[in-house]
Amino acid sequence: MRVLVVEDERVLADAIAEWLREETHAVDTAHDGAAALERLAVNDYDVVVLDRDLPVVHGDDVCRELVASESAARVLMLTAAAEIGDRVAGLSLGADDYLAKPFAFAELAARVLALGRRARPAAPPVLRRAGITLDPARREVFRDGRYVPLSKKEFAVLTELLRANGAVVPAETLLEKAWDENADPFTGVVRLTVLKLRRKLGEPAVVLTVPGVGYRIP
Protein backbone atom coordinates (compact mmCIF):
# COMPACT_ATOMS: atom_id res chain seq x y z
CA MET A 1 0.00 0.00 0.00
CA ARG A 2 0.97 3.65 -0.39
CA VAL A 3 0.84 5.51 2.93
CA LEU A 4 1.35 9.17 3.80
CA VAL A 5 2.51 9.91 7.35
CA VAL A 6 1.83 13.50 8.42
CA GLU A 7 3.49 14.26 11.75
CA ASP A 8 5.38 17.42 12.81
CA GLU A 9 7.57 15.53 15.29
CA ARG A 10 10.21 14.37 12.82
CA VAL A 11 11.66 11.62 14.99
CA LEU A 12 8.19 10.14 15.48
CA ALA A 13 7.34 10.54 11.78
CA ASP A 14 10.52 8.73 10.78
CA ALA A 15 9.88 5.96 13.31
CA ILE A 16 6.32 5.41 12.03
CA ALA A 17 7.51 5.43 8.43
CA GLU A 18 10.26 2.91 9.14
CA TRP A 19 7.87 0.59 10.97
CA LEU A 20 5.38 0.70 8.10
CA ARG A 21 8.13 0.11 5.54
CA GLU A 22 9.04 -3.03 7.47
CA GLU A 23 5.45 -4.08 6.77
CA THR A 24 6.25 -3.70 3.01
CA HIS A 25 4.27 -0.47 2.56
CA ALA A 26 5.54 2.45 0.46
CA VAL A 27 5.65 5.46 2.80
CA ASP A 28 6.00 9.21 2.26
CA THR A 29 6.23 11.75 5.07
CA ALA A 30 5.16 15.35 5.57
CA HIS A 31 5.78 17.54 8.62
CA ASP A 32 3.08 20.18 8.29
CA GLY A 33 -0.41 20.44 6.87
CA ALA A 34 0.57 22.45 3.80
CA ALA A 35 3.18 19.88 2.75
CA ALA A 36 0.61 17.14 3.28
CA LEU A 37 -1.90 18.84 0.98
CA GLU A 38 0.80 19.21 -1.70
CA ARG A 39 1.54 15.49 -1.62
CA LEU A 40 -2.14 14.57 -1.57
CA ALA A 41 -2.67 16.67 -4.69
CA VAL A 42 -0.15 14.69 -6.74
CA ASN A 43 -0.14 11.17 -5.25
CA ASP A 44 -2.85 8.58 -4.66
CA TYR A 45 -2.59 7.17 -1.14
CA ASP A 46 -4.40 4.23 0.36
CA VAL A 47 -4.03 5.48 3.93
CA VAL A 48 -3.09 8.82 5.52
CA VAL A 49 -1.73 8.72 9.07
CA LEU A 50 -2.60 12.27 10.12
CA ASP A 51 -1.52 14.08 13.28
CA ARG A 52 -4.30 16.41 14.32
CA ASP A 53 -2.20 19.23 15.79
CA LEU A 54 -0.13 20.29 12.77
CA PRO A 55 1.63 23.59 12.01
CA VAL A 56 0.87 25.80 8.95
CA VAL A 57 -2.40 23.99 8.14
CA HIS A 58 -4.17 22.24 11.01
CA GLY A 59 -4.78 18.52 10.72
CA ASP A 60 -8.54 19.12 10.94
CA ASP A 61 -8.36 21.26 7.80
CA VAL A 62 -6.24 18.66 6.00
CA CYS A 63 -8.88 16.06 6.82
CA ARG A 64 -11.66 18.35 5.58
CA GLU A 65 -9.81 18.96 2.29
CA LEU A 66 -9.21 15.26 1.81
CA VAL A 67 -12.86 14.40 2.38
CA ALA A 68 -14.02 17.22 0.11
CA SER A 69 -11.77 15.94 -2.69
CA GLU A 70 -13.62 12.59 -2.56
CA SER A 71 -10.31 10.78 -2.25
CA ALA A 72 -10.45 7.05 -1.63
CA ALA A 73 -7.68 7.38 0.97
CA ARG A 74 -8.59 6.35 4.50
CA VAL A 75 -7.55 8.60 7.41
CA LEU A 76 -6.07 7.41 10.69
CA MET A 77 -5.98 10.48 12.92
CA LEU A 78 -3.36 10.77 15.67
CA THR A 79 -3.61 13.09 18.64
CA ALA A 80 -2.27 13.60 22.14
CA ALA A 81 -5.84 14.29 23.28
CA ALA A 82 -7.54 11.09 24.39
CA GLU A 83 -10.86 12.49 25.60
CA ILE A 84 -14.05 11.08 24.09
CA GLY A 85 -15.02 14.55 22.84
CA ASP A 86 -11.78 14.84 20.90
CA ARG A 87 -12.29 11.45 19.31
CA VAL A 88 -15.84 12.31 18.31
CA ALA A 89 -14.68 15.62 16.84
CA GLY A 90 -11.97 13.92 14.79
CA LEU A 91 -14.30 11.26 13.45
CA SER A 92 -16.95 13.85 12.64
CA LEU A 93 -14.48 15.56 10.32
CA GLY A 94 -14.35 12.43 8.19
CA ALA A 95 -11.48 10.48 9.76
CA ASP A 96 -11.94 6.71 9.51
CA ASP A 97 -10.09 5.80 12.69
CA TYR A 98 -8.55 7.51 15.70
CA LEU A 99 -5.46 6.65 17.75
CA ALA A 100 -4.35 8.51 20.85
CA LYS A 101 -0.68 9.11 21.67
CA PRO A 102 1.29 7.38 23.02
CA PHE A 103 0.53 4.28 21.00
CA ALA A 104 2.12 0.95 20.18
CA PHE A 105 3.62 0.81 16.67
CA ALA A 106 2.21 -2.68 16.20
CA GLU A 107 -1.31 -1.39 16.84
CA LEU A 108 -0.82 1.51 14.44
CA ALA A 109 0.44 -0.86 11.74
CA ALA A 110 -2.56 -3.15 12.27
CA ARG A 111 -4.97 -0.23 11.98
CA VAL A 112 -3.26 1.00 8.81
CA LEU A 113 -3.55 -2.45 7.26
CA ALA A 114 -7.24 -2.67 8.18
CA LEU A 115 -7.95 0.77 6.70
CA GLY A 116 -6.01 -0.13 3.57
CA ARG A 117 -8.27 -3.10 2.99
CA ARG A 118 -11.27 -0.78 3.15
CA ALA A 119 -9.68 1.72 0.75
CA ARG A 120 -9.35 -0.86 -2.01
CA PRO A 121 -11.57 -3.49 -3.60
CA ALA A 122 -12.02 -6.43 -1.28
CA ALA A 123 -9.45 -9.19 -1.68
CA PRO A 124 -9.31 -12.61 -0.05
CA PRO A 125 -6.97 -12.93 2.96
CA VAL A 126 -4.76 -15.28 0.92
CA LEU A 127 -4.13 -14.55 -2.77
CA ARG A 128 -3.88 -17.49 -5.19
CA ARG A 129 -3.21 -17.59 -8.92
CA ALA A 130 -1.17 -19.64 -11.40
CA GLY A 131 0.12 -21.96 -8.68
CA ILE A 132 1.19 -19.03 -6.50
CA THR A 133 -0.08 -18.63 -2.94
CA LEU A 134 0.60 -15.34 -1.14
CA ASP A 135 -0.32 -14.86 2.50
CA PRO A 136 -0.13 -11.12 3.38
CA ALA A 137 -0.48 -11.71 7.12
CA ARG A 138 2.43 -14.15 7.34
CA ARG A 139 4.45 -12.50 4.54
CA GLU A 140 4.82 -15.91 2.89
CA VAL A 141 4.81 -16.93 -0.76
CA PHE A 142 4.67 -20.44 -2.19
CA ARG A 143 4.70 -21.66 -5.78
CA ASP A 144 3.38 -25.17 -6.31
CA GLY A 145 4.05 -25.87 -2.64
CA ARG A 146 7.63 -24.54 -2.73
CA TYR A 147 8.47 -21.67 -0.39
CA VAL A 148 9.72 -18.60 -2.26
CA PRO A 149 11.78 -16.09 -0.22
CA LEU A 150 11.15 -12.56 -1.50
CA SER A 151 12.47 -9.11 -0.68
CA LYS A 152 10.02 -6.47 0.54
CA LYS A 153 9.74 -4.85 -2.89
CA GLU A 154 9.35 -8.19 -4.67
CA PHE A 155 6.60 -9.12 -2.23
CA ALA A 156 4.84 -5.78 -2.77
CA VAL A 157 5.02 -6.09 -6.57
CA LEU A 158 3.73 -9.67 -6.51
CA THR A 159 0.86 -8.61 -4.26
CA GLU A 160 -0.22 -5.94 -6.75
CA LEU A 161 -0.01 -8.36 -9.66
CA LEU A 162 -2.08 -10.99 -7.85
CA ARG A 163 -4.66 -8.45 -6.74
CA ALA A 164 -5.16 -7.46 -10.39
CA ASN A 165 -6.70 -10.91 -10.98
CA GLY A 166 -5.18 -11.38 -14.42
CA ALA A 167 -5.42 -7.78 -15.61
CA VAL A 168 -2.38 -5.83 -16.79
CA VAL A 169 -0.75 -3.66 -14.13
CA PRO A 170 1.16 -0.67 -15.56
CA ALA A 171 4.74 -0.20 -14.40
CA GLU A 172 3.73 3.26 -13.17
CA THR A 173 1.14 1.70 -10.85
CA LEU A 174 3.69 -0.73 -9.43
CA LEU A 175 6.12 2.14 -8.87
CA GLU A 176 3.43 4.14 -7.09
CA LYS A 177 2.27 1.31 -4.84
CA ALA A 178 5.59 -0.32 -3.96
CA TRP A 179 8.00 2.63 -3.78
CA ASP A 180 7.84 6.02 -2.07
CA GLU A 181 8.12 9.46 -3.68
CA ASN A 182 11.93 9.33 -3.59
CA ALA A 183 12.02 6.58 -6.21
CA ASP A 184 13.38 7.70 -9.58
CA PRO A 185 10.96 6.53 -12.31
CA PHE A 186 13.82 6.43 -14.81
CA THR A 187 16.04 3.97 -12.95
CA GLY A 188 14.24 0.86 -14.16
CA VAL A 189 13.65 -0.38 -10.60
CA VAL A 190 10.32 -1.93 -11.54
CA ARG A 191 11.80 -3.86 -14.46
CA LEU A 192 14.72 -5.09 -12.35
CA THR A 193 12.42 -6.12 -9.50
CA VAL A 194 10.16 -8.03 -11.89
CA LEU A 195 13.21 -9.80 -13.35
CA LYS A 196 14.32 -10.90 -9.88
CA LEU A 197 10.76 -11.93 -9.02
CA ARG A 198 10.55 -14.10 -12.16
CA ARG A 199 13.84 -15.76 -11.32
CA LYS A 200 12.74 -16.60 -7.79
CA LEU A 201 9.33 -17.90 -8.85
CA GLY A 202 11.03 -20.26 -11.28
CA GLU A 203 9.91 -21.94 -14.50
CA PRO A 204 7.66 -21.78 -16.34
CA ALA A 205 7.69 -17.98 -16.18
CA VAL A 206 4.41 -16.73 -14.76
CA VAL A 207 4.89 -12.93 -14.74
CA LEU A 208 4.32 -11.82 -18.31
CA THR A 209 5.42 -8.53 -19.87
CA VAL A 210 2.91 -6.70 -22.03
CA PRO A 211 5.16 -4.47 -24.16
CA GLY A 212 4.52 -0.78 -23.67
CA VAL A 213 1.78 -1.45 -21.10
CA GLY A 214 2.95 -3.34 -18.02
CA TYR A 215 2.90 -6.78 -16.42
CA ARG A 216 0.34 -9.47 -15.66
CA ILE A 217 -0.07 -12.92 -14.16
CA PRO A 218 -2.54 -14.77 -16.44
Residues β-bridged to residue 49? 5, 76
Q: Quote the pLDDT of residue 94.
A: 84
Check whether 179 has a pLDDT greater than 90: no
Q: Quote the pLDDT of residue 187.
A: 67
Q: Quote the pLDDT of residue 118.
A: 74
Q: Quote the pLDDT of residue 82.
A: 62
Share of the chain above pLDDT 70, in %: 89
Q: Quote the pLDDT of residue 22.
A: 87
- Nearest of 37, 22, 28, 26 to residue 4 by alpha carbon: 28
Check whether 74 has a pLDDT greater than 70: yes
pLDDT digits (tens, 9 = 90+) for 180-190: 766 666 668 89
Residue type at position 119: A
Distance CA 49, CA 33 (A): 12
Q: Quote the pLDDT of residue 146.
A: 93
- The whole model's pTM is what? 0.63
pLDDT digits (tens, 9 = 90+) for 20-50: 998 888 899 999 999 999 999 888 899 999 9
Q: Are 40 and 4 contacting, i.e. CB atoms less than 8 angstroms apart?
A: yes
**How many CB atoms neighbour CB 149 within 10 A?**
9
Check whether 143 has a pLDDT greater than 80: yes
Q: Quote the pLDDT of residue 183.
A: 65
Give φ, ψ of 147 to 5 degrees.
-65, 135
- What is the pLDDT averaged over residues 53-57? 93
Distance CA 196, CA 173 (A): 18
